[in-house]
Structure 1
Amino acid sequence: MHITVETTIAAPIEAVWQAWTTPADIVQWNAASPDWHTTRASVDLRVGGAFSSRMEAKDGSMGFDFAGTYTQVVPHELLVADFGGRSLRVAFLNSPTGVTVRETFEAETTHSEEEQRAGWQAILDNFARHVLRQQGA
């Protein structure tokens, strides 16, 4: 099963792409709730390149690594990756009103579809807020 989440951001594609692919930005927006944060991130933005981020509860009670390998990179348009035996596709759809970021990922079996959708959407919403803050909106 695949799950899709998306958001539209009134910002230039260059700003959206940079915030998505720059480790210094990723650690600022990559969390589903205020009690979590990303302590480190890395991006090797090329086909065969690896990405990773370390997400941890702020109280130190738990954490996990999210890591994978890019299988397709089309700057300002598309990222496709494999992570943990699953697939991820991130489309950046540019329009006169902004950029729609659409993530489609292969669901895992530990959490319900609703939990996964809510968590990924919350992170994407944080991303949108981060880009808008960076743009001074």
Structure 2
Amino acid sequence: MDITVETIIAAPIAKVWTLYNTPEHIKNWNAASDDWHTTASTVDLREGGQFSSRMEAKDGSMGFDFAGTFTKVVEHERIEYSFGDRKATIQFTNTAAGVQLSITFEAETTYSLEQQQQGWQAILNNFKRYVESLN
């Protein structure tokens, strides 16, 4: 089953694209809650390139690597990637209100669909706040 999260960001598409795909920026927004953070990030943004973000609880109690391989990259438009045996697509669309950023990903079985949707949406909301704070 696929889950989609989305938001509209009041910023130019080139800026949204850059801030979404640059490791130094990813470390500033990539967390679902204030008690987590991303301590390391790498991005090789090309088809066949890999990415990884180290996400950790700020209290040091747990952490994990979110990593995968880019399978399609269309600059300022679309990114597709695989992570484990799952896939995701990120769509960047210009609108009158800003950039609509939509992420569709294959659900996993450990957590409920609602938990997965809420977690990914929280990260996307953090990204929106981060980008708009730099305007």
Both structures adopt the same fold (TM-score exceeding 0.5): yes
CA drift of 1:95 comes to: 1.7
Structure 1 regions of 5+ residues with no counterpart? none
The alignment of Structure 1 onto Structure 2 pairs a total of residues equal to 135
TM-score of the pair, normalised by structure 1? 0.97
Q: Which residue of 2 aligns with 1:21?
A: 21
Q: Which residue of 1 aligns with 2:45?
A: 45
Q: Which residue of 1 aligns with 2:68?
A: 68
Name the amino acid aligned to 2:38: T
Q: Matches of 2:98 and 2:108 in 1, distance apart?
A: 31
Q: Matches of 1:88 and 1:64 in 2, distance apart?
A: 18
Moved over 2 A (4+): none
TM-score of the pair, normalised by structure 2? 0.99
Q: Matches of 2:28 and 2:128 in 1, distance apart?
A: 11
Structure 2 regions of 5+ residues with no counterpart? none
Q: Which residue of 2 aligns with 1:91?
A: 91
CA drift of 1:97 comes to: 1.8
Q: Matches of 1:23 and 1:134 in 2, distance apart?
A: 16
Q: Matches of 1:104 and 1:29 in 2, distance apart?
A: 19
Root-mean-square deviation (CA), in Å? Answer: 0.5
CA drift of 1:96 comes to: 2.6
Q: Which residue of 1 aligns with 2:54?
A: 54
CA drift of 1:110 comes to: 0.2
**Percent identity between the two aligned chains:** 61
